[in-house]
Amino acid sequence: MEASRSKPISDELLEILACPVCKTPVRLDGDRLVCDTCGRRYRIEDGIPIMLVDEAELPEGGAES
Ligand SMILES: [Zn+2]
């Protein structure tokens, strides 16, 4: 058996991460970090969250505000 998949980032790191747009703490959704306020999704590359507005995936249908 190969080692079971671990979380893409640690809980400690997740706790300090927040959306750069609205400062909302993000939550982990699969291999993405999701902001529930603006709906942006941030990817994680090699354990490093890409918390950049320009790199974020926008929600379909546009952000509610
Ligand atoms: Zn946000």
> Looking at the domain assignment, is residue 65 inside a domain?
no
pLDDT digits (tens, 9 = 90+) for 13-52: 999 999 999 999 999 999 999 999 999 999 999 999 999 9
What angle (nearest 5°) sits at the alpha carbon of residue 17, between those of residues 14 and 65? 120
Instruction: Indicate the number of domains in the chain.
Output: 1
Evaluate whether residue 37 is within a structural domain. Answer: yes
Q: How far is the CA of 4 from the centre of ligand 1 (A)?
A: 31
pLDDT at 7: 85
CA of 41 to the centre of ligand 1 (A): 8
Ligand 1 center from residue 21 Cα (angstroms):
5
Beta-strand (E) ranges in the chain? 27-29, 32-34, 41-45, 48-49
Q: State the distance from the centre of ligand 1 to the C-alpha of 47, rounded, in angstroms.
A: 20
**CATH at 32:** 2.20.25
Measure 52 CA to ligand 1 centroid, in angstroms.
Answer: 11
pTM of the model: 0.81
Mean pLDDT in residue range 50-60: 94
